[in-house]
Every structure is written in structure tokens, then in C-alpha cells.
Amino acid sequence: MTGEFLRTISQALAANGSILIATDHFDYFEKIKDIARANPDFTAEDPFDLRSPDGGQDGRVLPLTKFEQLFRAQGAAIYWLELRKVSPVR
């Protein structure tokens, strides 16, 4: 994850579009948050549980990936971050 990558993603996303990022590596998760907070095109939303039966804050439920199944079976925590594109003030 780099600032340049987020700028590229920002150009491709519609207004209020978002990307979800997940990792089992806490230090990398913290680095992603720092990079995202330095980018004025995004707000970094607190992680929310997209695996609960009733979904996250907005009711979304995501299927488990093969990697997440593997890491969860090993007892690893999964850290989630939603980056939402913000519209520039005009």
C-alpha cells in the first residue's frame, strides 16, 4: 500500500465509493492507516465486523476468503479498514 496506489484508486472510484482492506498483520494494518490518513481523498473508517450474521454497520456480510479461513484456523486476528472516497469541497 502506497500513497500513489491510493491516489490511483481515488481516480477510479465514484464519489463516496469505498475499498475494504483486510490483513492479519497488525503492523502492516497500522501502516495502511497512516498512509490513508495522509491522503485527503479518503476517510479511514474504523474496522467493523463484516463476518457477523447481521453484517457490519450497514448490514453487509462478506464471504470468507481462502486466506482468511486459513489464518482464522490458525487463530490469527483479521484487521479491517474501510477507506471511503470523500468529495472535495468546492
User: Which band of pLDDT confidence, cut at 50, 70 and 90, is reported for residue 54?
Assistant: low
Average pLDDT of the residues in 29-49? 83
Q: Which residues contact 82 (CB under 8 A, 6 or more apart)?
A: 18, 19, 20, 21, 44, 45, 47, 48
Give the global pTM.
0.71
% the chain with pLDDT above 90: 21
SS3 string of 57-87? Answer: CCCCCCCCCHHHHHHHHCCCCCEEEEEEECC
The whole-angstrom separation of Cα 69 and Cα 61 is 15
Pick 60 or 16 by higher pLDDT: 16
Q: Where are the domains of the chain?
A: 16-51+64-88
